[in-house]
Amino acid sequence: MNELIKKIHSVAKSLGRVKLMEVCGGHTNTVMKYGLKEILPENVKLVSGPGCPVCVTSQKDIDAVVEMALNGIKIATYGDMLRVPGTKKSLADARSEGADIQVVYSVDEIKEKDRVFFGIGFETTTPMTARLLEKGFTVFSAHKTMPNAMKSLAQKMKIDGFIDPGHVSTITGSKMWEEINLGVPQVIAGFTPEAVTRAILLLLEMIKRGEKRVKNDYREVVLPNGNIVAKRLINKTMKPIDAEWRGMGIIPNSGLTPRKEELDARIKYADLIKNIKSIENPACKCNEVIRGLIEPKECPLFGRKCTPENPQGACMVSETEGACAIAFKYGGKK
């Protein structure tokens, strides 16, 4: 580890200011837990991107599912989604008022065909939702795909290199990143502090050489073609759509929805959710944290009004992937 840090400082001496982005909540957790930002030279900045699926789920989608629950539609979803603040209420608030909301760890726990699954996540969790659709269950899909979101970031922000999401890459494969061509160096990395530190070094070395390629440094898990079985199941049951990302707006072909309209809750309950008006908390800076524009502690609510026990924004909800929740966990209010 010390040798990697020495090499990073040595290579950085020949570079100007460099901005790198990690785009995975698991990497964010490693970076903050082990203080990896503190080991970097002054001219190298590492920022967190939209790697938390709970965080990037749009306010409108949260409000839509809350509205469905309050109107007697039975819902199932993952635990973190309960606590994401909506415009007026969270799913936890709806459940306290009598809404039937089942928290699941696996889609196999859902047995009732009249229960709607609120599906979130990137390519990693999408196969589970696809499995549910194959069985004929109704889904409200807020699933997102990473490639076009990263394209958007590369086009709109000055990012010199990406640490690609490791878990996502196990599904998509390394060839996919080569094909989309973000125009900057990319490293697919594992999740140990050594793996993330090595990814930073590899990016700096590629920047120094002027290379704009993809390096798969997670070969023990990530194959060139990814998980073919999972991808086939996703393609069989879901199709790409334009999707709204919190903080990033509508990104073309960056979401997934059921191929069968009769299993798509957005269509099935369209009349119920069509008049929803969503408003985000203007004091919450989650939308800027997601894009790496500010650090969590730069938000005026961080550690004051906004804590993991009382989240005011989506970035403070997931303690394993949300940048604000992770920063609070390892750094507290200071």
The boundaries of the domain holding residue 86 are: 54-145+229-273
What is the mean predicted confidence (pLDDT) over 170-196?
94
Kindly state the percentage of the chain with pLDDT values over 90: 89
263 occurs within a structural domain: yes
Of residues 320 and 189, the one with the higher pLDDT is: 189
85 occurs within a structural domain: yes
- Rg, the chain, Cα only: 20
130 occurs within a structural domain: yes
What is the mean predicted confidence (pLDDT) over 82-86?
94
Share the mean pLDDT of the chain. 93
324 occurs within a structural domain: no
CATH assignment at residue 59: 3.40.50.11740
What is the tens place of the pLDDT at every residue in 314-329?
999 998 899 999 999 9
- pLDDT, position 155: 83
Measured CA to CA, the distance from residue 285 to residue 247 in angstroms comes to 9
Residue 275 has pLDDT above 50, yes or no: yes
Measured CA to CA, the distance from residue 290 to residue 48 in angstroms comes to 7
Q: What is the dihedral of CA 216, 222, 228, 229, to 10 degrees?
A: -170
- pLDDT, position 332: 52
6 occurs within a structural domain: no
- Domain count of the fold of the chain: 1
What is the mean predicted confidence (pLDDT) over 209-217?
95
Residue 333 has pLDDT above 70, yes or no: no
Measured CA to CA, the distance from residue 180 to residue 161 in angstroms comes to 14
244 occurs within a structural domain: yes
298 occurs within a structural domain: no
95 occurs within a structural domain: yes
